[in-house]
Structure 1
Amino acid sequence: MNELIHLTLLTEVFVTLFVIMDPPGTIPVFLSLTAGRSVASVRKAAWQAVCVSFLVITVFALFGQGILAYMHISIPALQCAGGLLLLLVALELLMGYDKDPATSGETNVALVPLGTPLLAGPGAIVAVMLFVQRADTAPEISALVIGTIGVHIVLWLTMRFSVRILKLIREGGVMLVTRIAGLLLSAIAVQMVADAVRAFISGDA
């Protein structure tokens, strides 16, 4: 039976990007960067940050392979580098870290650092490019698109209602979810490196 959407890939895309982009972990950062602003300004910043993130990821999904071919970089090499980058992020999530980008009163923080590199960072970009390599059929492409859009919707909702969410789960809850995300992300990173090493050994690189 033909399926319209590859549900397994959809789940994998959504979970992977959710763990990498870490919506709960963006709450404290988003609140600190938009502190003192009006409610309308905070909502606008949330929308702009998500749009910038989606645009950056889309560009790399569409043209990233061409850039790699021009620079003679193989997918396994990129996968290994991406895995190492994800492992560093995972260690930061597990051990605790403090993102405190310098901002000024009129700086549009929705573009930088929120949209990129906080949301659309190297990990998310590499992950999407690798998923693009696997999406050969229409159901798989649909799963990739819907999964990516779904994560960005969650990101927007998280930042849009960040004040209410923070009051509900409090800082301890955010820290707990962040630690769990770090654990899952570390497993994904190790798997990416292992797959890349296997590809190099088998001569697929």
Structure 2
Amino acid sequence: MLDSVLDLTLLATSFTTILVIQDPLGAIPIFLSLTSRQTDAERRRSAWHATLVSFAVILLFAIFGRYILMFLGITVPALQISGGLLLLLVALELLTGKIEETPDSEGANTNAALVPLGTPLLAGPGAIVAAMVAVESARTPVIGWMSITAAIIVTHVVIWLTLRFSVGLHRLLGDSAIRVLTRIFGLLLAAIAVQMMADGVFAYIGTEL
């Protein structure tokens, strides 16, 4: 019954890909820095706002990405190849430990949860492209949208829980464990990116022959 409304394979792969790209564990130190002058209640509100902004941005592109591609005349294989290259760059940043610069904590306030945390740190180009590619890979548009929406919802539940309990997680794991997990996520994402580019190349060759 569930298979008739959801593509479980697409849901699982999309959830894994988007979660790895967004890397909520890696966002913990940045979140704590941005909210260092906030109270516990304000920090909880910031976690909710950041999660909501990220969810809205990614869902928007997942739903309307098809029409954006049609308007620009971009084929799905082209999106897969370019998206794979972009994800590979994100993976290299995770593997090398390169993080984007963040604003000084003295200037951090509730708006910092929206920008840069909600977007582009969580809902960045990599996650947006991954959602769009996943929808285009679905058997039918409706099943694709529903599967990706479910994956995005589950992903952002995990993100919200991670940010909501960021102080405790940071104390439990420590900086070293978070860095190790980030490197593992980077390795997995690199493999996903290579597979995406390979699928795009074969699909492109197939359409040209």
Instruction: Give the TM-score, by structure 1 length.
Output: 0.91
- Indicate the SS of the match to 2:103: coil
Residue 124 of structure 1 is matched in structure 2 by: 127
Give structure 2 stretches of 5+ with no counterpart: none
Structure 2: how far apart are the matches of 1:142 and 1:198?
Answer: 27
Q: 1:188 to 1:204 in 2, by over 3 A?
A: farther
Deviations 1:139-193 (A, max 9, x none): 6544322211000000000001000001111111101110000000000111111
Runs of 4+ aligned residues of structure 1 deviating over 4 Å after TM superposition are 137-141
Structure ranking higher in helix proportion? 2
Residue 59 of structure 2 is matched in structure 1 by: 58
Residue 156 of structure 1 is matched in structure 2 by: 160
Equivalent AA in structure 2 for residue 78 of structure 1? L
Q: 1:130 to 1:167 in 2, by over 3 A?
A: same
| Percent of aligned pairs sharing the same letter | 52
- Indicate the SS of the match to 1:99: coil
Structure 1: how far apart are the matches of 2:41 and 2:2?
Answer: 45
Equivalent AA in structure 2 for residue 49 of structure 1? A
Give structure 1 stretches of 5+ with no counterpart: none
Structure 2: how far apart are the matches of 1:63 and 1:137?
Answer: 11
Structure 2: how far apart are the matches of 1:197 and 1:26?
Answer: 33
- Alpha-carbon RMSD across the aligned residues, in angstroms, is 2.0
Q: Work out whether residues 60 and 129 of structure 1, in 8 Å CA contact, stay in contact via their aligned partners in 2.
A: yes
- Indicate the SS of the match to 2:111: coil
Greater alpha carbon shift after TM alignment, 195-204 vs 11-20: 195-204
Matched, 1:97 2:98: yes
Q: Work out whether residues 34 and 42 of structure 1, in 8 Å CA contact, stay in contact via their aligned partners in 2.
A: yes
Greater alpha carbon shift after TM alignment, 10-19 vs 180-189: 10-19
Structure 2: how far apart are the matches of 1:77 and 1:162?
Answer: 38
Q: Work out whether residues 29 and 100 of structure 1, in 8 Å CA contact, stay in contact via their aligned partners in 2.
A: no
Residue 113 of structure 1 is matched in structure 2 by: 116
Greater alpha carbon shift after TM alignment, 102-111 vs 36-45: 102-111
Matched, 1:133 2:142: no
